[in-house]
Structure 1
Amino acid sequence: MQTISATNYSIFFNEKSYEFLAEVLVPNRYSKVFILVDENTATHCLPTFLANLATEVTIEIIELEAGESQKNIETCLQLWHSLTELGGDRKSILINLGGGVISDIGGFVACTFKRGIDFINVPTTLLAMVDASIGGKNGVDLGNLKNQIGIIREPKAVLVLPEFLATLPSNEMRSGLAEMLKHGLIYDKEYWNQFKNLSDLNTEDLNILIHQSIQIKNNIVSEDLTENGIRKSLNFGHTLGHAIESYFLESDSKTPLLHGEAIAIGMILESYISKEKKLLTNEEYHEIKYIIKDIFETVNFSQTDIKNCIDLLIFDKKNEFGKVQFALLDGIGAIKINQECDNDLIYNAFEDYQS
């Protein structure tokens, strides 16, 4: 697959990823290579990665427990201490080998250690490949509130190795698929149409779709790195999706949802709101609803659940001047940003989602 050029870095695929590493990880450029993994990627991905990594620079491995619960400032403190104790300096480089949590927290730690060291993202989940590793957003959660603390700074490179997808359970693959569906809905109707017959896709088809999805996100980010305009379109499904994800994460009575599972719900809800605001036809809305529901199981919400999710909207990082901001569909393949919505319409969206 062809290398994609981002604003200040490149996204390499397959064998070109290891060729890039061999060229860049040399002693006169970097003093030490740190590789951040979680317990899953340490087992399933790290051996293959190290076997293909050709460098004379000293390598140190830092391992975290897996899961969203690790994406906090306390974990950052542990990582800063580990980097210091293992001899990290300003000429060190951090390679983030893992899913979205590893990409987000690893990038944030690299951006803040010694006032900033280089980092490379090597996403090992579908979600991280098409979303978390691309675009320079790095950060952590504040309690159960998603991505409240962070910085935008692009990596040295992103290396996409689809072979790692073979290590994923099916629910993790579906989670990443949600972001790919989003890219079609907000940017490219023809790309969206390719997901109507998922059962017909083979591995090569999936690799092509991954490349296209990354290209779509990169096109958007390249126009608006700091999210003052068109990059807000990537928030479609995330205003309500993040609130749902946060609520299920903090509630003792709920089973936490994967990011993509929550965003899938958010996309249906926000498509309903788009329809009610006359931005989306009834036919388009039902197409979106049924295609997403065919992939993701319906989650039940009580009235209390809905109220608690709505209460969390005020903490959404996209809000401006105390107003909750939505990115809504303006037909399939287009978007309108900075849209407001009253709570009654949100309640109606939840009701329709469950019907």
Structure 2
Amino acid sequence: MNTIQANGYPIHFNENAYLELNKFLSENKYSNIFIFADSDTNEHCLPVFLPNLETDLTIEIVEFEPGEENKNIETCVELWKVLTELKGDRKSLVINVGGGVVTDLGGFVASTFKRGIDFIHVPTTLLSMVDASVGGKNGVDLGNLKNQIGVINVPKMVLIDTQYLTSLPQNQMRSGLAEMLKHGLIFDRKYWNLFSDLNNLNTNDLDILIHQSVEIKNNIVIQDPTEHGIRKALNFGHTLGHAIESYFLENETKTTLLHGEAIAVGMILEAYISFKKQLISETDYEEIKSVINSIFDKITFEENDLNPILELLIHDKKNEFGTIQFALLDGIGNIKINQTVENELLIDAFLEYNS
């Protein structure tokens, strides 16, 4: 698959990725390499990655605990200390091998250590391949609030090798599909249509879909790297989805949701809001709901869940002057940004979802 040129860095695929990485290492003088990985990717992915790495530089593997609950400033402090103890300097290189937590966290640590050192992303989950590792967003959560602390800073390159997906559980694969579905809904009706029947997909089809999904996100990010305009389109499903994810993360009576599981619910809710605001037809809404529900399990919301979820919306990063901003569908394949939604319609969307 062809390399995609992003805003200041290349995205390489499969076998070509390692050729380009080793060429890059031979052409740039780094003092040492730190590989960031959580315990899962250390076990399942580094045995694939390390044999493909050709360098005489000292390599240090830095492992931390997996999971969104560890994507916080406390983990950053520990990683900054490790870099310092292992003599990291301005010419060190960080390679983040893992899912979205690893790439978000590792990119933030590298961007802030000694005022910024170079880093490379090697996403190993479907979600991180099509979303987290593309676009330059790096950061951590503040308590249960998603991605409140961070920077926009691009890697030197992104390497996408789909063989890492063979070790991925089905729920993690579905989590990544949510972002791919979103890319079709906001940008390309034909791409969305490809997901109406996933039963006949083979490995080669998935590679092509991943490449297309990265192209869609990259196309949007190049137009608006710092999210002042069209990049807000990528937040479809995320305004309510992030609030749901945060609420389930902090509530001990709830089962923690994967990012894509929460975003799938958010997309159904925000598609319903788009329908009620006459931006999409009822037929489009029913189609969206049917496709997403065919892939994801339905989540149950109790009546006393709704207000706490809605209260979390005020912390959404897209808000301006205290007003909650939504990206809503304007027909399948198009989007309207900076949309406001009254509380009654938000409650109505949850009630419709429950029904």
TM-score by length of 1: 0.99
Give, in whole Å, the separation in 2 of the partners of 1:137 and 1:65.
21
Cα distance, 1:264 vs. partner?
A: 0.1
SS of residue in 2 equivalent to 1:198 = coil
Q: Which residue of 1 aligns with 2:40?
A: 40
Cα distance, 1:26 vs. partner?
A: 3.3
Equivalent residue letter for 1:21:
L
* Superposition RMSD in Å: 0.7
Structure 1 residues 212-291: aligned runs within 5 Å: 212-291=212-291
Give, in whole Å, the separation in 1 of the partners of 2:92 and 2:307.
47
* Equivalent residues of 1:26, 1:57 under 8 A apart: no
SS of residue in 1 equivalent to 2:197 = helix
Equivalent residue letter for 2:95:
I
Give, in whole Å, the separation in 1 of the partners of 2:14 and 2:107.
22
- Gap regions ≥5 residues in structure 2: none
Equivalent residue letter for 2:151:
I
State whether structure 2 residue 352 is matched by structure 1 residue 352.
yes
Cα distance, 1:27 vs. partner?
A: 8.3
SS of residue in 1 equivalent to 2:36 = strand
Give, in whole Å, the separation in 1 of the partners of 2:293 and 2:8.
38
SS of residue in 2 equivalent to 1:231 = helix
Fraction of identical pairs, as percent: 65
State whether structure 2 residue 114 is matched by structure 1 residue 114.
yes
Give, in whole Å, the separation in 2 of the partners of 1:149 and 1:255.
25
Count of aligned pairs: 355
* Equivalent residues of 1:6, 1:222 under 8 A apart: yes
Q: Which residue of 2 aligns with 1:99?
A: 99
Q: Deviations over 1:35-91 (max 9, x none)?
A: 000010000000110011111111000001110011000000000000011110000
Equivalent residue letter for 2:69:
S
Q: Which residue of 1 aligns with 2:4?
A: 4
Structure 1 residues 59-74: aligned runs within 5 Å: 59-74=59-74
- Gap regions ≥5 residues in structure 1: none
Q: Which residue of 2 aligns with 1:50?
A: 50
Cα distance, 1:28 vs. partner?
A: 5.6
Give, in whole Å, the separation in 2 of the partners of 1:241 and 1:124.
23
Q: Deviations over 1:155-208 (max 9, x none)?
A: 100000000000100000000000000000000000000000100111100110
Cα distance, 1:20 vs. partner?
A: 1.3
Which contiguous aligned blocks of 4+ residues in structure 1 show a shift greater than 4 angstroms? none
Give, in whole Å, the separation in 1 of the partners of 2:289 and 2:27.
53
SS of residue in 2 equivalent to 1:97 = strand
Give, in whole Å, the separation in 1 of the partners of 2:177 and 2:154.
24
Structure 1 residues 45-194: aligned runs within 5 Å: 45-194=45-194
Give, in whole Å, the separation in 1 of the partners of 2:147 and 2:323.
18
* Equivalent residues of 1:183, 1:213 under 8 A apart: yes
Taking a change above 3 Å as real, the CA distance of residues 13 and 27 of structure 1, as seen in their structure-2 partners, is closer
Give, in whole Å, the separation in 2 of the partners of 1:346 and 1:295.
24
SS of residue in 1 equivalent to 2:141 = strand
Give, in whole Å, the separation in 1 of the partners of 2:318 and 2:139.
15
Equivalent residue letter for 2:231:
R
Q: Which residue of 2 aligns with 1:318?
A: 318
State whether structure 2 residue 31 is matched by structure 1 residue 31.
yes
